[in-house]
Homo-oligomer: A and B are copies of this chain.
């Protein structure tokens, strides 16, 4: 017989999270939604108000206490969401209602070396706190997204294919020691997926795939309302799915991996080819001017109507779409959200992705399937990282500790 998990979240964590995620709500709403007694709700709400964690709005209609809308006092505390790309760092300071208070961005030459990179990130987190006139003790938690597979429970990188020096680097521990608060580490696409579900185009969507197409390709799976990580935490690692018939060697050691055939470096390489042969006048002139071609150049040339660039973007989109078609048949999501640098290439790319998915999936799996670009784009990373740590510190097992320590 299968084991069942018994979980009885404490009334206080349950009531607080209800106000946090769906407030403003009245005491009556909370009684209806939770099934707790009026006195339990009343008691817990009074405690939250007393601690300055929840505030009561004056009701417009001057009604009694029971109907006054309650919401979380955002300013009662702060969390940081940080997001590291291969050449970019974003950090956002959030309050408890996930309003962004300060956002900073940095370009990085290299993130190959973990010590240098993490010292830089920690310095910038300290700076953002200083700028907001906050102390370390005002920080309730930190969420971080990194561009490699992460052992989520341990908070350490696991066999990063692009950044081998980071393997088993004790990330979580490092940040926890420095900032003396709970820290969560996840991979980039998982936090981006969470960001889209919390504040992006996938709000109110229970099952979706977030696809990031940039220097690499990865997917975040959001199933039944939460991030699905798989047995070893590497679910969604689709960059190294094989495209049958392709033989180009990938840095992972296999041939014809999706990432190697379709991601930004492949697009740039194909762009360089048609620039060198001068088949594409637009790309040839960019090459002459800058001495190189990047994927963004190819995307821009496509937007300007260059046929060769259009062909390159379409080919990439079509091949990604053919892989997605298989995954759509397999997981039957409501929505696919595409983010990452290549997603900025616009409808030429998206059209090719769509066509390939719809042409190769079953009717039932695509009848209501939505395929969109991310609207949050790079912000999905920091919002997701911030949301990740907020969910954790207010989760039933940590709720009491969080409140006691910080208020």
Q: Which residues of A contact B (CB under 8 A)?
A: 1-6, 8, 14, 17-18, 20-22, 33-35, 98, 149, 158-159, 197-199, 203-204, 206-207, 219, 221, 223-225, 228-238, 240-245, 252, 254, 322-323, 325-327, 329-334, 359-360, 362-365, 367-369
Contacts and interface: CB of A to CB of B under 8 A. Distances in A.
Contact of A332 (B159, B232, B364): B232
A362 B240 CA distance: 7
Interface SS of A by simple majority: loop
List the 3 closest pairs (A to B, CB-CB), nearest first. A230-B332, A244-B244, A235-B332
Given A322-B242, A332-B234, A21 B34 contact: no
Given A159-B363, A322-B244, A364-B158, A6 B14 contact: yes
B364 A329 contact: no
A46 B325 CA distance: 54
A21 B1 CA distance: 6
B21 A235 contact: no
Given A228-B331, A231-B369, 7 more contacts: A1-B198, A223-B223, A230-B332, A237-B362, A241-B330, A242-B322, A326-B326
A6 B18 contact: yes
A46 to B, nearest CB: 20
Contacts of A234: 329, 332, 362, 364-365
A2 B197 contact: yes
10 contacts: A3-B21, A6-B34, A159-B364, A224-B228, A231-B333, A235-B330, A235-B331, A237-B329, A241-B330, A254-B359
Contacts of A241: 325-326, 329-330
Contacts of A329: 234, 237-238, 240-241
A230 B367 CA distance: 13
A230 B245 contact: no
A369 B206 CA distance: 27
Contacts of A237: 329-330, 332, 362, 364-365
A2 B242 contact: no
Given A21-B1, A158-B364, A237-B365, A223 B228 contact: yes
A153 to B, nearest CB: 13
A237 B21 CA distance: 34
Given A198-B1, A364-B159, A327 B330 contact: yes
A325 to B, nearest CB: 7
A196 to B, nearest CB: 10
B330 A236 contact: yes
B323 A326 contact: yes
A333 B6 contact: no
Nearest to A333: B231
A184 B3 CA distance: 22
B4 A18 contact: yes
B3 A204 contact: yes
